[in-house]
Structure 1
Amino acid sequence: MMGLELARALTEAPLDQTSGTLLVAGDPGGSFHLSGGAIVEVTSPGAPGAETLLLRSGRIREADWESATKSSTAGSPIGAELIARKLVGAAELQLICVAAALDGALAVGMGRIDGFSLERGANGCRLAAPQAIEPDWLVREAERRIRALVSRRHPFSPFRTRLSRTEAGTAALDIAAAGERREILLRLNGRRSARDIAFLLGRSLYAVTVEVSRLLMEGLVEAAVPARPKDHLVGPATTAGGLPRRLPGASGVNDVLPLRPVAGH
Protein backbone atom coordinates (compact mmCIF):
# COMPACT_ATOMS: atom_id res chain seq x y z
CA MET A 1 0.00 0.00 0.00
CA MET A 2 1.03 3.54 -0.59
CA GLY A 3 2.79 5.05 2.45
CA LEU A 4 0.28 6.71 4.76
CA GLU A 5 2.26 9.95 4.99
CA LEU A 6 2.64 10.13 1.22
CA ALA A 7 -1.04 9.42 0.65
CA ARG A 8 -1.95 12.08 3.20
CA ALA A 9 0.31 14.63 1.51
CA LEU A 10 -1.36 13.97 -1.83
CA THR A 11 -4.92 14.05 -0.60
CA GLU A 12 -4.30 17.25 1.38
CA ALA A 13 -2.66 19.00 -1.57
CA PRO A 14 -5.95 20.47 -2.90
CA LEU A 15 -6.58 22.17 0.44
CA ASP A 16 -3.70 24.60 -0.04
CA GLN A 17 -3.75 24.60 -3.86
CA THR A 18 -0.22 23.17 -3.97
CA SER A 19 1.77 23.51 -7.18
CA GLY A 20 5.14 21.83 -7.59
CA THR A 21 6.66 18.38 -7.57
CA LEU A 22 6.38 15.80 -4.80
CA LEU A 23 9.57 13.75 -5.09
CA VAL A 24 9.45 10.23 -3.63
CA ALA A 25 12.77 8.60 -2.78
CA GLY A 26 12.90 4.82 -2.79
CA ASP A 27 12.86 1.83 -5.08
CA PRO A 28 11.62 2.55 -7.70
CA GLY A 29 10.42 5.91 -6.34
CA GLY A 30 8.84 8.56 -8.53
CA SER A 31 7.49 12.09 -8.90
CA PHE A 32 3.98 13.53 -8.51
CA HIS A 33 3.55 16.77 -10.44
CA LEU A 34 0.91 19.06 -8.96
CA SER A 35 -0.87 22.14 -10.28
CA GLY A 36 -3.32 24.01 -8.08
CA GLY A 37 -3.64 21.03 -5.75
CA ALA A 38 -4.42 18.53 -8.53
CA ILE A 39 -2.16 15.97 -10.19
CA VAL A 40 -1.13 16.55 -13.80
CA GLU A 41 1.50 13.80 -14.15
CA VAL A 42 3.04 10.92 -12.20
CA THR A 43 6.34 9.44 -13.35
CA SER A 44 8.36 6.52 -12.03
CA PRO A 45 11.23 4.35 -13.31
CA GLY A 46 8.97 1.45 -12.36
CA ALA A 47 6.28 2.09 -14.98
CA PRO A 48 5.96 3.38 -18.54
CA GLY A 49 5.02 7.05 -18.74
CA ALA A 50 2.56 8.62 -21.15
CA GLU A 51 5.32 9.29 -23.68
CA THR A 52 6.30 5.62 -23.72
CA LEU A 53 2.67 4.51 -24.00
CA LEU A 54 2.21 6.78 -27.01
CA LEU A 55 5.43 5.91 -28.84
CA ARG A 56 5.98 2.20 -28.11
CA SER A 57 2.37 1.37 -28.88
CA GLY A 58 2.67 3.04 -32.28
CA ARG A 59 -0.05 5.61 -31.59
CA ILE A 60 2.42 8.36 -32.49
CA ARG A 61 5.49 8.12 -34.70
CA GLU A 62 8.87 9.10 -33.29
CA ALA A 63 9.36 11.77 -35.98
CA ASP A 64 5.98 13.35 -35.21
CA TRP A 65 6.75 13.36 -31.49
CA GLU A 66 10.12 15.03 -32.00
CA SER A 67 8.60 17.65 -34.28
CA ALA A 68 5.82 18.45 -31.81
CA THR A 69 8.32 18.59 -28.94
CA LYS A 70 10.46 21.14 -30.78
CA SER A 71 7.41 23.32 -31.44
CA SER A 72 6.01 23.14 -27.90
CA THR A 73 6.54 26.04 -25.52
CA ALA A 74 5.57 26.95 -21.97
CA GLY A 75 2.40 28.50 -23.34
CA SER A 76 1.74 25.56 -25.65
CA PRO A 77 2.89 22.38 -23.90
CA ILE A 78 3.56 19.12 -25.73
CA GLY A 79 0.08 17.74 -25.07
CA ALA A 80 -1.63 20.76 -26.61
CA GLU A 81 0.74 20.55 -29.57
CA LEU A 82 -0.08 16.88 -30.16
CA ILE A 83 -3.81 17.66 -30.08
CA ALA A 84 -3.43 20.70 -32.36
CA ARG A 85 -1.60 18.55 -34.92
CA LYS A 86 -4.36 15.93 -34.66
CA LEU A 87 -1.80 13.29 -33.72
CA VAL A 88 -4.02 12.27 -30.82
CA GLY A 89 -7.46 13.30 -29.63
CA ALA A 90 -7.95 15.20 -26.38
CA ALA A 91 -10.07 12.42 -24.83
CA GLU A 92 -7.58 9.72 -25.85
CA LEU A 93 -4.64 11.70 -24.50
CA GLN A 94 -6.48 12.21 -21.21
CA LEU A 95 -7.06 8.47 -20.83
CA ILE A 96 -3.42 7.70 -21.64
CA CYS A 97 -2.17 10.30 -19.15
CA VAL A 98 -4.49 8.98 -16.44
CA ALA A 99 -3.38 5.38 -17.14
CA ALA A 100 0.28 6.45 -16.90
CA ALA A 101 -0.38 8.38 -13.68
CA LEU A 102 -2.09 5.36 -12.12
CA ASP A 103 0.77 3.10 -13.17
CA GLY A 104 3.30 5.54 -11.72
CA ALA A 105 1.42 5.70 -8.41
CA LEU A 106 1.10 1.91 -8.46
CA ALA A 107 4.86 1.48 -8.93
CA VAL A 108 5.66 3.92 -6.13
CA GLY A 109 3.14 2.30 -3.79
CA MET A 110 4.35 -1.26 -4.46
CA GLY A 111 7.99 -0.33 -4.00
CA ARG A 112 10.06 0.85 -1.07
CA ILE A 113 9.42 4.41 0.09
CA ASP A 114 12.37 5.99 1.89
CA GLY A 115 10.90 9.47 2.15
CA PHE A 116 9.52 12.34 0.12
CA SER A 117 9.91 16.08 -0.31
CA LEU A 118 7.91 18.83 -1.97
CA GLU A 119 9.55 21.27 -4.35
CA ARG A 120 6.99 24.07 -4.54
CA GLY A 121 6.73 25.78 -7.89
CA ALA A 122 8.97 23.24 -9.62
CA ASN A 123 7.72 22.38 -13.09
CA GLY A 124 9.44 19.22 -14.25
CA CYS A 125 6.33 17.89 -15.95
CA ARG A 126 6.97 16.16 -19.27
CA LEU A 127 3.47 15.47 -20.57
CA ALA A 128 0.67 16.89 -18.44
CA ALA A 129 -2.84 15.48 -18.56
CA PRO A 130 -5.17 17.86 -20.44
CA GLN A 131 -7.44 17.81 -17.39
CA ALA A 132 -6.01 17.49 -13.90
CA ILE A 133 -6.52 14.35 -11.82
CA GLU A 134 -8.11 14.33 -8.38
CA PRO A 135 -5.46 13.20 -5.86
CA ASP A 136 -7.90 11.38 -3.58
CA TRP A 137 -9.30 9.38 -6.52
CA LEU A 138 -5.82 8.46 -7.72
CA VAL A 139 -4.71 7.32 -4.25
CA ARG A 140 -7.84 5.20 -3.73
CA GLU A 141 -7.61 3.57 -7.16
CA ALA A 142 -3.87 2.88 -6.87
CA GLU A 143 -4.41 1.24 -3.47
CA ARG A 144 -7.33 -0.79 -4.84
CA ARG A 145 -5.12 -2.12 -7.63
CA ILE A 146 -2.28 -2.94 -5.24
CA ARG A 147 -4.65 -4.93 -3.03
CA ALA A 148 -6.02 -6.71 -6.09
CA LEU A 149 -2.54 -7.70 -7.30
CA VAL A 150 -1.39 -8.84 -3.86
CA SER A 151 -4.50 -10.97 -3.39
CA ARG A 152 -3.86 -13.10 -6.48
CA ARG A 153 -2.78 -16.70 -6.08
CA HIS A 154 0.79 -16.13 -7.26
CA PRO A 155 1.90 -12.67 -6.07
CA PHE A 156 5.29 -11.61 -7.41
CA SER A 157 7.38 -8.49 -7.85
CA PRO A 158 6.71 -6.80 -11.20
CA PHE A 159 10.15 -5.19 -10.88
CA ARG A 160 12.48 -7.98 -9.68
CA THR A 161 10.93 -11.32 -10.57
CA ARG A 162 12.44 -12.53 -13.85
CA LEU A 163 10.01 -14.63 -15.84
CA SER A 164 10.31 -17.38 -18.41
CA ARG A 165 7.94 -19.58 -20.40
CA THR A 166 7.36 -23.14 -19.31
CA GLU A 167 7.23 -25.92 -21.89
CA ALA A 168 3.47 -25.52 -21.88
CA GLY A 169 3.89 -21.78 -22.45
CA THR A 170 6.14 -22.35 -25.45
CA ALA A 171 3.68 -24.86 -26.86
CA ALA A 172 0.86 -22.37 -26.33
CA LEU A 173 2.54 -19.97 -28.75
CA ASP A 174 1.54 -22.30 -31.60
CA ILE A 175 -2.14 -21.81 -30.87
CA ALA A 176 -2.27 -18.44 -29.10
CA ALA A 177 -4.19 -15.82 -31.03
CA ALA A 178 -2.56 -12.51 -31.83
CA GLY A 179 -2.89 -10.07 -28.97
CA GLU A 180 -1.36 -8.96 -25.69
CA ARG A 181 -1.09 -12.48 -24.23
CA ARG A 182 0.91 -13.76 -27.19
CA GLU A 183 3.10 -10.64 -27.22
CA ILE A 184 3.91 -11.14 -23.54
CA LEU A 185 4.70 -14.83 -23.96
CA LEU A 186 7.00 -14.10 -26.90
CA ARG A 187 9.12 -11.76 -24.78
CA LEU A 188 9.52 -13.87 -21.66
CA ASN A 189 13.07 -15.15 -21.85
CA GLY A 190 14.10 -15.59 -18.22
CA ARG A 191 15.74 -12.18 -18.03
CA ARG A 192 12.75 -9.85 -18.15
CA SER A 193 10.28 -8.71 -15.50
CA ALA A 194 6.68 -7.60 -15.97
CA ARG A 195 7.97 -4.02 -15.86
CA ASP A 196 10.40 -4.75 -18.70
CA ILE A 197 7.60 -6.23 -20.81
CA ALA A 198 5.37 -3.21 -20.13
CA PHE A 199 8.09 -0.87 -21.42
CA LEU A 200 8.80 -3.05 -24.46
CA LEU A 201 5.16 -3.22 -25.49
CA GLY A 202 4.17 0.29 -24.46
CA ARG A 203 1.45 -1.19 -22.30
CA SER A 204 0.15 -0.44 -18.81
CA LEU A 205 2.21 -1.95 -15.99
CA TYR A 206 -0.98 -2.99 -14.25
CA ALA A 207 -2.46 -4.69 -17.31
CA VAL A 208 0.78 -6.58 -18.03
CA THR A 209 1.17 -7.64 -14.38
CA VAL A 210 -2.40 -8.96 -14.26
CA GLU A 211 -1.88 -10.93 -17.48
CA VAL A 212 1.42 -12.37 -16.23
CA SER A 213 -0.34 -13.40 -13.02
CA ARG A 214 -2.92 -15.29 -15.09
CA LEU A 215 -0.17 -16.97 -17.10
CA LEU A 216 1.50 -18.07 -13.86
CA MET A 217 -1.78 -19.55 -12.60
CA GLU A 218 -2.19 -21.47 -15.88
CA GLY A 219 1.32 -22.89 -15.69
CA LEU A 220 2.44 -21.16 -18.89
CA VAL A 221 4.98 -18.95 -17.12
CA GLU A 222 7.31 -19.45 -14.17
CA ALA A 223 9.76 -17.36 -12.18
CA ALA A 224 13.22 -17.91 -13.66
CA VAL A 225 14.77 -17.25 -10.26
CA PRO A 226 12.30 -17.34 -7.36
CA ALA A 227 11.99 -13.94 -5.71
CA ARG A 228 13.16 -13.56 -2.13
CA PRO A 229 10.37 -12.89 0.37
CA LYS A 230 11.24 -9.20 0.56
CA ASP A 231 10.89 -8.95 -3.22
CA HIS A 232 7.22 -9.92 -3.17
CA LEU A 233 4.54 -7.31 -3.42
CA VAL A 234 4.05 -5.52 -0.14
CA GLY A 235 0.59 -6.18 1.22
CA PRO A 236 -1.69 -3.95 3.30
CA ALA A 237 -0.48 -3.17 6.80
CA THR A 238 -3.48 -4.96 8.24
CA THR A 239 -1.86 -8.32 7.52
CA ALA A 240 0.49 -9.67 10.15
CA GLY A 241 3.39 -10.37 7.83
CA GLY A 242 1.33 -12.53 5.51
CA LEU A 243 -0.57 -11.83 2.34
CA PRO A 244 -4.23 -10.87 2.57
CA ARG A 245 -7.00 -13.20 1.59
CA ARG A 246 -8.27 -13.02 -1.94
CA LEU A 247 -10.73 -10.17 -2.35
CA PRO A 248 -14.03 -10.82 -4.10
CA GLY A 249 -13.72 -9.87 -7.74
CA ALA A 250 -10.01 -9.06 -7.59
CA SER A 251 -8.65 -7.91 -10.27
CA GLY A 252 -8.55 -8.62 -13.91
CA VAL A 253 -8.09 -5.81 -16.34
CA ASN A 254 -11.80 -5.88 -17.13
CA ASP A 255 -12.86 -5.00 -13.60
CA VAL A 256 -11.03 -1.68 -13.46
CA LEU A 257 -13.26 1.04 -12.05
CA PRO A 258 -14.56 3.57 -14.59
CA LEU A 259 -12.15 6.46 -14.84
CA ARG A 260 -13.16 9.54 -12.88
CA PRO A 261 -10.00 11.57 -13.27
CA VAL A 262 -11.02 15.18 -13.68
CA ALA A 263 -10.56 17.58 -10.79
CA GLY A 264 -13.17 20.22 -10.16
CA HIS A 265 -11.11 23.15 -11.46
Structure 2
Amino acid sequence: MIDESTEPGTGSRNIPALLAELRSRKQSRTVRLTGSPGGTLHLRDGLVVAMETPAAPNVESLLLKSGRITEEAWSAVCAADTTHDRLAEELVAQELVGGGELEIISLSALFDAAFALSLSRPDGWEVTDPVPVLYRNPGITPERLVAEISRRTELLADRPGSVAEFARTRMQLAAPAQLPGAVGALPARLQDVLTNTDGRRTPRDIAFALGRGLFAVMLDLRRLLALGLVQSSAPVAPQRPSTATRTPSAPVPAPPAAVPLPRRLPGRNTPAPTGTPSETP
Protein backbone atom coordinates (compact mmCIF):
# COMPACT_ATOMS: atom_id res chain seq x y z
CA MET A 1 0.00 0.00 0.00
CA ILE A 2 1.24 3.47 -0.89
CA ASP A 3 0.57 6.23 1.62
CA GLU A 4 -1.22 8.87 -0.45
CA SER A 5 -0.30 11.53 2.12
CA THR A 6 3.43 11.23 1.45
CA GLU A 7 5.21 13.24 -1.20
CA PRO A 8 5.58 11.22 -4.44
CA GLY A 9 9.02 9.70 -4.84
CA THR A 10 10.09 9.84 -1.19
CA GLY A 11 9.89 6.06 -0.84
CA SER A 12 11.16 5.07 -4.29
CA ARG A 13 14.54 3.35 -4.58
CA ASN A 14 15.09 4.00 -8.28
CA ILE A 15 13.47 5.49 -11.38
CA PRO A 16 11.43 2.38 -12.34
CA ALA A 17 10.01 2.26 -8.79
CA LEU A 18 9.30 5.99 -8.89
CA LEU A 19 7.42 5.72 -12.18
CA ALA A 20 5.46 2.75 -10.83
CA GLU A 21 4.48 4.79 -7.79
CA LEU A 22 3.37 7.77 -9.87
CA ARG A 23 1.46 5.38 -12.13
CA SER A 24 -0.38 3.82 -9.17
CA ARG A 25 -1.37 7.29 -7.95
CA LYS A 26 -2.28 8.47 -11.49
CA GLN A 27 -0.13 11.54 -10.89
CA SER A 28 0.60 14.31 -13.38
CA ARG A 29 4.15 15.34 -12.52
CA THR A 30 7.52 16.33 -13.92
CA VAL A 31 10.59 14.39 -12.75
CA ARG A 32 13.94 16.14 -13.16
CA LEU A 33 16.96 13.82 -13.23
CA THR A 34 20.29 15.22 -12.10
CA GLY A 35 23.64 13.99 -13.32
CA SER A 36 25.24 13.72 -16.72
CA PRO A 37 23.54 13.98 -19.10
CA GLY A 38 20.44 14.37 -16.90
CA GLY A 39 16.95 14.81 -18.26
CA THR A 40 13.27 15.42 -17.62
CA LEU A 41 10.36 12.97 -17.49
CA HIS A 42 6.78 14.18 -17.98
CA LEU A 43 3.79 12.20 -16.70
CA ARG A 44 0.08 12.78 -17.20
CA ASP A 45 -2.33 10.73 -15.07
CA GLY A 46 0.48 8.31 -14.25
CA LEU A 47 1.52 7.67 -17.85
CA VAL A 48 4.82 8.86 -19.36
CA VAL A 49 4.04 11.23 -22.25
CA ALA A 50 7.47 12.77 -22.89
CA MET A 51 11.12 12.54 -21.91
CA GLU A 52 13.88 14.99 -22.75
CA THR A 53 17.65 14.78 -22.38
CA PRO A 54 20.69 16.46 -23.97
CA ALA A 55 21.74 12.93 -25.02
CA ALA A 56 19.00 12.58 -27.68
CA PRO A 57 17.00 14.88 -30.00
CA ASN A 58 13.61 15.97 -28.67
CA VAL A 59 10.46 16.59 -30.73
CA GLU A 60 11.51 20.14 -31.61
CA SER A 61 14.94 18.97 -32.84
CA LEU A 62 13.42 16.15 -34.89
CA LEU A 63 11.00 18.56 -36.58
CA LEU A 64 13.53 21.31 -37.30
CA LYS A 65 16.72 19.38 -38.12
CA SER A 66 14.89 16.98 -40.42
CA GLY A 67 13.43 19.92 -42.35
CA ARG A 68 9.82 18.95 -41.62
CA ILE A 69 9.18 22.53 -40.52
CA THR A 70 11.23 25.73 -40.87
CA GLU A 71 12.66 27.91 -38.13
CA GLU A 72 10.25 30.68 -39.19
CA ALA A 73 7.23 28.38 -38.89
CA TRP A 74 8.40 27.16 -35.50
CA SER A 75 8.80 30.74 -34.26
CA ALA A 76 5.26 31.51 -35.42
CA VAL A 77 3.90 28.52 -33.49
CA CYS A 78 5.73 29.59 -30.33
CA ALA A 79 4.42 33.14 -30.73
CA ALA A 80 0.86 31.81 -31.00
CA ASP A 81 1.30 29.81 -27.78
CA THR A 82 3.45 31.84 -25.41
CA THR A 83 2.82 29.42 -22.53
CA HIS A 84 4.07 26.49 -24.68
CA ASP A 85 1.20 24.45 -23.30
CA ARG A 86 -0.50 23.84 -26.67
CA LEU A 87 2.40 23.59 -29.10
CA ALA A 88 1.22 20.26 -30.50
CA GLU A 89 -2.27 21.62 -31.16
CA GLU A 90 -0.82 24.73 -32.84
CA LEU A 91 1.45 22.67 -35.11
CA VAL A 92 -1.52 20.62 -36.30
CA ALA A 93 -3.90 23.60 -36.50
CA GLN A 94 -1.44 25.52 -38.69
CA GLU A 95 -1.10 22.38 -40.86
CA LEU A 96 2.67 22.27 -40.38
CA VAL A 97 2.51 18.57 -39.51
CA GLY A 98 -0.30 16.02 -39.48
CA GLY A 99 -1.72 14.81 -36.18
CA GLY A 100 -0.80 11.19 -36.87
CA GLU A 101 2.73 12.07 -37.93
CA LEU A 102 3.24 14.24 -34.85
CA GLU A 103 2.08 11.38 -32.63
CA ILE A 104 4.65 9.06 -34.23
CA ILE A 105 7.41 11.66 -33.80
CA SER A 106 6.33 12.30 -30.21
CA LEU A 107 6.51 8.59 -29.30
CA SER A 108 9.79 8.18 -31.16
CA ALA A 109 11.39 11.02 -29.19
CA LEU A 110 10.02 9.59 -25.94
CA PHE A 111 11.44 6.09 -26.47
CA ASP A 112 14.72 7.49 -27.80
CA ALA A 113 15.24 9.70 -24.75
CA ALA A 114 14.41 6.78 -22.44
CA PHE A 115 17.00 4.63 -24.23
CA ALA A 116 19.63 7.39 -24.05
CA LEU A 117 19.01 7.97 -20.35
CA SER A 118 19.29 4.25 -19.60
CA LEU A 119 22.94 4.35 -20.70
CA SER A 120 24.04 6.36 -17.67
CA ARG A 121 23.33 6.41 -13.95
CA PRO A 122 21.40 9.45 -12.60
CA ASP A 123 22.74 11.15 -9.47
CA GLY A 124 19.24 11.80 -8.14
CA TRP A 125 15.84 13.24 -8.99
CA GLU A 126 13.25 15.82 -8.04
CA VAL A 127 9.49 15.44 -8.48
CA THR A 128 7.69 18.72 -9.27
CA ASP A 129 4.36 19.93 -10.55
CA PRO A 130 3.85 19.30 -14.28
CA VAL A 131 5.40 21.75 -16.71
CA PRO A 132 4.45 22.32 -20.38
CA VAL A 133 6.09 20.00 -22.91
CA LEU A 134 5.58 19.29 -26.61
CA TYR A 135 3.94 15.89 -27.01
CA ARG A 136 1.02 14.23 -28.79
CA ASN A 137 0.47 10.66 -27.62
CA PRO A 138 -1.80 8.83 -25.16
CA GLY A 139 1.05 8.03 -22.77
CA ILE A 140 3.17 4.94 -22.04
CA THR A 141 3.10 2.70 -18.97
CA PRO A 142 6.38 2.31 -17.04
CA GLU A 143 6.35 -1.42 -17.87
CA ARG A 144 6.20 -0.82 -21.60
CA LEU A 145 8.96 1.78 -21.35
CA VAL A 146 11.31 -0.64 -19.55
CA ALA A 147 10.51 -3.42 -22.06
CA GLU A 148 11.34 -1.15 -25.02
CA ILE A 149 14.61 -0.02 -23.46
CA SER A 150 15.59 -3.67 -22.93
CA ARG A 151 14.71 -4.54 -26.52
CA ARG A 152 16.82 -1.73 -27.95
CA THR A 153 19.76 -2.50 -25.69
CA GLU A 154 19.73 -6.17 -26.70
CA LEU A 155 19.67 -5.26 -30.40
CA LEU A 156 22.83 -3.17 -30.05
CA ALA A 157 24.80 -5.03 -27.39
CA ASP A 158 27.62 -7.38 -28.28
CA ARG A 159 29.17 -7.51 -24.80
CA PRO A 160 28.45 -6.12 -21.30
CA GLY A 161 28.74 -2.33 -21.28
CA SER A 162 29.13 -2.16 -25.04
CA VAL A 163 26.07 -0.02 -25.81
CA ALA A 164 27.02 2.81 -23.43
CA GLU A 165 30.58 2.69 -24.78
CA PHE A 166 29.36 2.76 -28.38
CA ALA A 167 27.11 5.76 -27.69
CA ARG A 168 30.06 7.91 -26.63
CA THR A 169 32.59 6.75 -29.25
CA ARG A 170 33.67 9.02 -32.09
CA MET A 171 33.45 7.42 -35.52
CA GLN A 172 35.54 7.95 -38.63
CA LEU A 173 35.48 6.79 -42.23
CA ALA A 174 37.46 3.64 -43.04
CA ALA A 175 39.33 2.90 -46.29
CA PRO A 176 38.34 6.20 -47.99
CA ALA A 177 39.68 4.97 -51.34
CA GLN A 178 36.98 2.26 -51.42
CA LEU A 179 34.13 4.52 -50.34
CA PRO A 180 32.99 6.00 -53.68
CA GLY A 181 32.08 2.62 -55.19
CA ALA A 182 30.56 1.19 -52.00
CA VAL A 183 28.51 4.24 -51.05
CA GLY A 184 26.50 4.31 -54.27
CA ALA A 185 24.78 1.03 -53.42
CA LEU A 186 23.78 2.12 -49.91
CA PRO A 187 20.31 3.38 -48.91
CA ALA A 188 20.09 7.16 -48.66
CA ARG A 189 19.87 7.11 -44.85
CA LEU A 190 23.20 5.25 -44.59
CA GLN A 191 24.80 7.67 -47.04
CA ASP A 192 23.61 10.53 -44.83
CA VAL A 193 25.24 8.90 -41.80
CA LEU A 194 28.50 8.50 -43.73
CA THR A 195 28.37 12.15 -44.79
CA ASN A 196 28.25 13.13 -41.14
CA THR A 197 31.04 10.78 -40.03
CA ASP A 198 34.24 12.82 -39.62
CA GLY A 199 36.19 11.37 -36.69
CA ARG A 200 34.87 13.99 -34.27
CA ARG A 201 31.21 13.10 -33.94
CA THR A 202 29.59 10.55 -31.66
CA PRO A 203 26.30 8.82 -32.54
CA ARG A 204 24.51 11.55 -30.58
CA ASP A 205 26.15 14.26 -32.67
CA ILE A 206 25.14 12.55 -35.90
CA ALA A 207 21.58 12.06 -34.63
CA PHE A 208 21.27 15.78 -33.87
CA ALA A 209 22.83 16.76 -37.21
CA LEU A 210 20.39 14.61 -39.18
CA GLY A 211 17.29 15.15 -37.05
CA ARG A 212 17.01 11.41 -36.40
CA GLY A 213 16.77 9.29 -33.26
CA LEU A 214 19.92 8.18 -31.44
CA PHE A 215 18.92 4.52 -31.49
CA ALA A 216 18.23 4.53 -35.24
CA VAL A 217 21.58 6.18 -35.96
CA MET A 218 23.39 3.66 -33.76
CA LEU A 219 21.76 0.80 -35.67
CA ASP A 220 22.91 2.31 -38.97
CA LEU A 221 26.43 2.79 -37.65
CA ARG A 222 26.48 -0.88 -36.60
CA ARG A 223 25.61 -1.77 -40.19
CA LEU A 224 28.34 0.49 -41.57
CA LEU A 225 30.84 -1.02 -39.13
CA ALA A 226 29.92 -4.50 -40.37
CA LEU A 227 30.44 -3.32 -43.96
CA GLY A 228 33.87 -1.94 -43.06
CA LEU A 229 32.94 1.59 -44.15
CA VAL A 230 33.42 3.23 -40.74
CA GLN A 231 35.60 2.52 -37.75
CA SER A 232 35.71 3.68 -34.16
CA SER A 233 37.95 6.52 -33.15
CA ALA A 234 38.46 7.72 -29.56
CA PRO A 235 35.59 7.34 -27.06
CA VAL A 236 34.41 10.54 -25.37
CA ALA A 237 34.73 10.74 -21.58
CA PRO A 238 31.50 9.41 -20.03
CA GLN A 239 31.02 12.38 -17.68
CA ARG A 240 29.21 14.54 -20.23
CA PRO A 241 27.71 14.32 -23.72
CA SER A 242 29.91 15.20 -26.68
CA THR A 243 29.72 18.83 -27.75
CA ALA A 244 30.91 18.35 -31.34
CA THR A 245 29.09 20.43 -33.92
CA ARG A 246 25.59 19.17 -34.75
CA THR A 247 25.61 20.23 -38.40
CA PRO A 248 25.84 17.61 -41.23
CA SER A 249 29.20 16.35 -42.37
CA ALA A 250 30.92 13.76 -40.12
CA PRO A 251 30.94 10.49 -37.89
CA VAL A 252 30.92 8.76 -34.49
CA PRO A 253 29.93 5.50 -32.30
CA ALA A 254 30.97 2.15 -30.57
CA PRO A 255 28.65 -0.16 -28.34
CA PRO A 256 27.19 -0.20 -24.62
CA ALA A 257 24.59 -1.93 -22.38
CA ALA A 258 22.09 -0.41 -20.00
CA VAL A 259 23.42 0.39 -16.54
CA PRO A 260 21.31 -0.73 -13.55
CA LEU A 261 19.58 2.18 -11.87
CA PRO A 262 20.62 3.24 -8.35
CA ARG A 263 18.70 2.81 -5.08
CA ARG A 264 17.58 5.81 -3.05
CA LEU A 265 18.92 6.25 0.46
CA PRO A 266 16.21 6.86 3.11
CA GLY A 267 15.26 10.51 3.48
CA ARG A 268 16.86 11.85 0.31
CA ASN A 269 16.67 11.67 -3.45
CA THR A 270 20.30 10.76 -4.05
CA PRO A 271 20.67 7.12 -5.15
CA ALA A 272 22.91 4.64 -3.37
CA PRO A 273 25.82 3.18 -5.33
CA THR A 274 24.17 -0.18 -6.00
CA GLY A 275 21.34 -0.55 -8.49
CA THR A 276 18.46 -2.77 -9.44
CA PRO A 277 18.55 -5.01 -12.49
CA SER A 278 16.00 -2.87 -14.23
CA GLU A 279 17.12 -0.60 -17.05
CA THR A 280 14.94 2.48 -17.34
CA PRO A 281 15.71 6.12 -17.99
Inter-CA distance 134–174: structure 2 relative to 1 (3 Å threshold):
closer
Aligned equivalents of 1:32, 1:151: Cα separation in 2: 29
Deviation at 1:109, TM superposition (A): 0.3
> 1:1-265 counterparts in 2 under 5 A?
5-74=14-83, 77-119=86-128, 121-123=129-131, 125-151=132-158, 155=163, 157-167=165-175, 170-172=179-181, 174-177=183-186, 179-225=188-234, 233-235=256-258
Inter-CA distance 8–21: structure 2 relative to 1 (3 Å threshold):
same
1:13-50 Cα offsets, whole Å, 9 max, x none, are 22111122111222222110111111221001000001
Q: Extract unaligned runs of 5+ from structure 1.
A: 238-265
Moved over 6 A (4+): 227-231
One-letter amino acid of the counterpart of residue 165, structure 1:
L
Inter-CA distance 189–31: structure 2 relative to 1 (3 Å threshold):
same
Inter-CA distance 156–172: structure 2 relative to 1 (3 Å threshold):
farther
Aligned equivalents of 2:259, 2:165: Cα separation in 1: 15
Deviation at 1:100, TM superposition (A): 0.2
Aligned equivalents of 2:164, 2:141: Cα separation in 1: 29
SS of corresponding position for 2:97? coil
> Do 2:43 and 2:130's aligned partners in 1 also have CA atoms closer than 8 Å?
no
One-letter amino acid of the counterpart of residue 57, structure 1:
S
Inter-CA distance 172–126: structure 2 relative to 1 (3 Å threshold):
farther
> Do 1:110 and 1:146's aligned partners in 2 also have CA atoms closer than 8 Å?
no
Deviation at 1:89, TM superposition (A): 1.1
Inter-CA distance 147–26: structure 2 relative to 1 (3 Å threshold):
farther
Inter-CA distance 135–127: structure 2 relative to 1 (3 Å threshold):
same
> Do 1:55 and 1:202's aligned partners in 2 also have CA atoms closer than 8 Å?
yes
Aligned equivalents of 1:146, 1:88: Cα separation in 2: 31
The alignment's C-alpha RMSD in Å is 2.8
SS of corresponding position for 1:189? coil
Aligned equivalents of 1:236, 1:27: Cα separation in 2: 13
> Do 1:163 and 1:189's aligned partners in 2 also have CA atoms closer than 8 Å?
yes
One-letter amino acid of the counterpart of residue 201, structure 2:
R
Count residues with an aligned counterpart. 233
Inter-CA distance 11–173: structure 2 relative to 1 (3 Å threshold):
farther
SS of corresponding position for 2:48? strand
